């Protein structure tokens, strides 16, 4: 246990700079307007905080990362603000803090994570706590603790309390011996990053818990996710977010991948839509527990050409990071997501032109963009 405690402190320090959260403490103190002293003496007040409807009661771990805040917003609109608890080990921004229930939650603390689930009568758990690819390679012991030990805690609690559990997977779950164009749902994986290895482990453990204990485990392999709402967080595909910020600020972008590096990508809204759809899909419609989802695939060069329609003077240069390039070269170029489209009706809304237009509509008030339009 002393090792895990020290890892937890290290996780807090690292994740504050990496954009990834790991997520447990006791209760949504701020959301219900009571003091920590009151919380300590009364652990039963949660039952009157939430509506008594049939909506799921949701906990999102690692919620201050790229996806958690957007997912919380979507789920609160659908199920009610107080039915969705966002959690992380980092301090939230004011807009997040005041938008709905938020708690401190450390996934390496099994006892307190269990208390959160019990005290708040959680029925759905979205487990987003993880260290991403490049960050994980820089600190393998920490990635192993957060991505694997944390997962085990979540699986055991979800099985014990009959939760519907969502754990995202990734293009990083594949390796250099996997078929790359296209990559099917079932094939050789063999990733060569701790991030990828931990995601394959999550897929298999979730499937095992489903067949062994009846856990309602659901998983999507995300492509690279692009969002205007968050800063890049250490992932190999994050160049596709940074290019927009740099194009607006300086008109220059230095890419750490080769210009011909093709990877599957998806706009955030499509990702969140797919996540909600898989969780709401009837169990009998699912033929597998882990699905690929896809929207588009492009290279840095193709993305730059589309961006130059809005910032014509964009200067694109390349300074290849060999670590990230090796990771990208082991990943799929295109996802085969035909099973998701067949089983539960997955359909994306954003292709590359719509993606770029949407990103600039959020980020761009710069004169260069106005002139281009």
Q: Is 47 exposed, middle or buried (0-12, 13-18, 19+ CB in 10 A)?
A: exposed
114 domain residue, yes or no: no
Q: What is the pLDDT of residue 50?
A: 40
Q: What's the CATH code of the domain at 191?
A: 3.40.50.720
- Predicted confidence (pLDDT) at residue 195 exceeds the cutoff of 50: yes
Q: How confident is the model at residue 19 (pLDDT cuts 50, 70, 90)?
A: very low
Beta strand pairing call for 124-127 and 296-298: unpaired
Give the distance between the most distant pair of CA atoms in the chain.
62
Residue range 154-177, pLDDT digits in tens: 999 999 999 999 999 999 999 999
Q: Tokens in use for 255?
A: 């890419």
Q: What is the pLDDT of residue 323?
A: 87
Helices first, then strands: H and E counts in the chain: 17, 13
DSSP 3-state assignment of 222? strand
DSSP 3-state assignment of 220? strand
Angle at the Cα of 74 from the Cα atoms of 71 and 79, rounded to 5 degrees? 115
155 domain residue, yes or no: yes
Q: Tokens in use for 12?
A: 């807090």
CB of 99 closer than 8 Å to CB of 163: no
Other CB atoms within a 10 A radius of the CB of residue 370 amount to: 10
190 domain residue, yes or no: yes
81 domain residue, yes or no: no
CB of 360 closer than 8 Å to CB of 289: no
332 domain residue, yes or no: yes
124 domain residue, yes or no: no
26 domain residue, yes or no: no
DSSP E strands in 216-268: the ranges are 216-222, 224-226, 252-255, 263-267
CB of 7 closer than 8 Å to CB of 145: yes
Residue range 56-70, pLDDT digits in tens: 999 999 999 879 999
Residues taking part in catalysis: 195
**Domain of 322, in residue numbers:** 130-370
**CB-based contacts of 203: which residues, under 8 Å, 6+ apart?**
169, 173, 219, 289, 290
pTM of the model: 0.82
Strand-pairing partners, residue 170, are 222
348 domain residue, yes or no: yes
* Tally of domains within the chain: 1
Q: How confident is the model at residue 37 (pLDDT cuts 50, 70, 90)?
A: very low
Rg of the chain over Cα atoms, rounded to whole angstroms, equals: 20
- Predicted confidence (pLDDT) at residue 4 exceeds the cutoff of 50: no
Residue range 203-254, pLDDT digits in tens: 999 999 999 999 999 999 999 999 887 776 667 888 999 999 999 999 999 9
């Amino acid at each position: 246990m002393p090792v895990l405690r020290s890892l937890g402190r290290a996780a807090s320090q690292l994740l504050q700079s990496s954009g990834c959260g790991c997520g447990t403490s006791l209760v949504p103190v701020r959301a219900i307007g009571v003091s920590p002293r009151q919380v300590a003496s009364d652990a039963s007040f949660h039952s009157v905080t939430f509506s008594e409807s049939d909506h799921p009661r949701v906990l999102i771990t690692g919620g201050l990362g790229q996806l958690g805040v957007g997912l919380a917003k979507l789920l609160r609109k659908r199920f009610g603000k107080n039915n969705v608890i966002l959690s992380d080990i980092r301090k939230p921004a004011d807009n997040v803090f005041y938008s709905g229930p938020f708690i401190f939650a450390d996934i390496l603390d099994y006892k307190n994570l269990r208390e959160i689930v019990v005290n708040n009568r959680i029925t759905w758990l979205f487990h987003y706590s993880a260290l991403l690819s490049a960050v994980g390679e820089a600190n393998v012991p920490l990635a192993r603790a957060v991505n694997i030990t944390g997962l085990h805690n979540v699986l055991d609690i979800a099985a014990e309390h009959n939760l519907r559990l969502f754990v995202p997977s990734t293009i990083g779950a594949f390796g250099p011996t996997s078929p790359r164009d296209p990559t099917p749902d079932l094939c050789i994986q063999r990733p060569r990053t701790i991030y990828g290895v931990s995601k394959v482990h999550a897929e298999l453990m979730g499937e095992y818990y489903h067949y062994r204990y009846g856990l309602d485990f659901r998983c999507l392999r995300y492509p690279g996710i692009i969002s205007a709402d968050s800063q890049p967080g250490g992932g190999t595909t994050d160049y596709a977010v940074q290019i927009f910020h740099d194009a607006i600020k300086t008109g220059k972008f230095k890419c750490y991948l080769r210009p011909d590096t093709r990877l599957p990508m998806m706009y955030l809204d499509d990702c969140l839509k797919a996540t909600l759809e898989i969780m709401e899909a009837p169990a009998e419609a699912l033929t597998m527990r882990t699905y690929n989802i896809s929207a588009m695939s492009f290279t840095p060069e193709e993305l730059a050409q589309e961006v130059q329609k809005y910032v014509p003077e964009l200067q694109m240069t390349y300074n290849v990071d060999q670590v990230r390039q090796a990771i990208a070269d082991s990943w799929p170029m295109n996802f085969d997501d035909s099973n998701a489209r067949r089983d539960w009706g997955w359909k994306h809304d954003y292709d590359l032109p719509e993606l770029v237009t949407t990103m600039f509509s959020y980020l761009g008030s710069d004169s260069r963009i106005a002139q281009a339009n």
